[in-house]
Structure 1
């Protein structure tokens, strides 16, 4: 029984034999199969010429092209062991954190904004996630974030 398995393993299978025959025919440049395959390849190459360069739409704008970036901060914000609260209404959670011109601003749900000097752009970049969308105006951004 094992002798039969060894003999079978030494001999090429039917699929291998067909593959070897076809590749031998395609190696001969004068054979009809080779002429047909090469003509098909040339036709596909001519028809399939596509410009691979990126269009301007998917490119991410640079920081100097943006007016600023905004992220939601739903939990309380604690800086220097002190919970940050809105200076006008006393709200302490559900912030929008705005990064613009190397400054960080906090905006409460009521729409009051205050400059937060204890935060910087590096903090913003560490804590913000990937960009989800860009907006033409600040009001569009606020609507998108639900404020």
Structure 2
């Protein structure tokens, strides 16, 4: 019984024979259009160039066009386990945190400013929300934030 199965397996099946016949017929044939250069496209009018940018009044300035950013920080600011306080008046809340030229500055409600080395721009970016306005001058931004 196994001898007969092995003998049949040595001979090609009907499907294999049909494939071999089809392969022999197609040998040497080239598909239509193969190897022929494509015709040059006709010189149609160029599509109209559309400006896909926002209008200037809706564009946000890029980081290199902005001198700095600031955000309010009303609660006490705790850094490395210590509460930040103004070196001149001792205020410890209602800060404006300014980020400019890779430096972080704290501004108290009385207008005293001090550089804060325990905060970096990455910290500022993590804690600041999206900008709600841009201002031409530092004083305009202070008025906008209520200082």
Same fold (TM over 0.5): yes
TM-score of the aligned structures, taking structure 1 as reference length: 0.64
Number of residue-to-residue matches in the alignment: 98
Q: Do residues 116 (structure 1) and 116 (structure 2) align? A: yes
* Structure 2 runs not aligned, ≥5 long: 1-49
TM-score of the aligned structures, taking structure 2 as reference length: 0.64
Aligned residues: CA RMSD: 1.3
Mapping of 1:31-70 within 5 angstroms?
A: 53-70=53-70
* Structure 1 runs not aligned, ≥5 long: 1-49
Which has the larger helix fraction?
1
The equivalent of 1:89 in structure 2 is 89
Structure showing greater Rg: 2
The equivalent of 1:104 in structure 2 is 104
**CA 1:129/1:67 → structure 2, altered by over 3 Å: closer, same or farther?**
same
Which aligned runs of 4 or more in structure 1 are off by greater than 6 angstroms? none
